[in-house]
């Protein structure tokens, strides 16, 4: 498999993992984001809000699923295109 296919596959998998975490592991992503904004220091935990009251909750699910799907499609299309056309060249 050529290096450019492996590079695009790796990028697609990274996007898929990031999208999965953004959609389904929101507490972890928010903790990482808080530590990133604080310069590496973990900020004190905020009192949890019910998910129905948090306006960002659904936006994170939607954007996370879009990034997840894009990463999987990028990975799958690149790999399958190479697999199906490698003999015709």
Let me know if residue 74 belongs to a domain: yes
Query: Given a cut of 60, is residue 87 above it in pLDDT?
Result: no
55-85 and 26-37 helices cross at what angle (nearest 10)? 100
Let me know if residue 47 belongs to a domain: no
Q: Which residues contact 74 (CB under 8 A, 6 or more apart)?
A: 8, 11, 12, 15
Let me know if residue 21 belongs to a domain: yes
Q: How many domains does the chain have?
A: 1
Query: Given a cut of 70, is residue 52 above it in pLDDT?
Result: no
Domain range enclosing 81: 3-37+56-85
Percent of the chain predicted with pLDDT > 90: 44
pLDDT digits (tens, 9 = 90+) for 15-33: 999 999 999 888 888 888 7
């Amino acid at each position: 498999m050529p290096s450019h296919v492996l590079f695009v596959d790796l990028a697609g998998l990274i996007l898929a993992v990031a999208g999965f975490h953004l959609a389904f592991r929101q507490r972890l992503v928010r903790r990482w984001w808080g530590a990133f904004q604080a310069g590496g220091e973990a900020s004190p935990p905020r009192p949890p809000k019910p998910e129905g009251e948090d306006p960002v909750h659904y936006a994170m699910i939607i954007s996370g699923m879009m990034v997840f799907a894009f990463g999987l499609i990028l990975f799958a299309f690149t790999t399958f295109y190479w697999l199906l056309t490698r003999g015709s060249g």
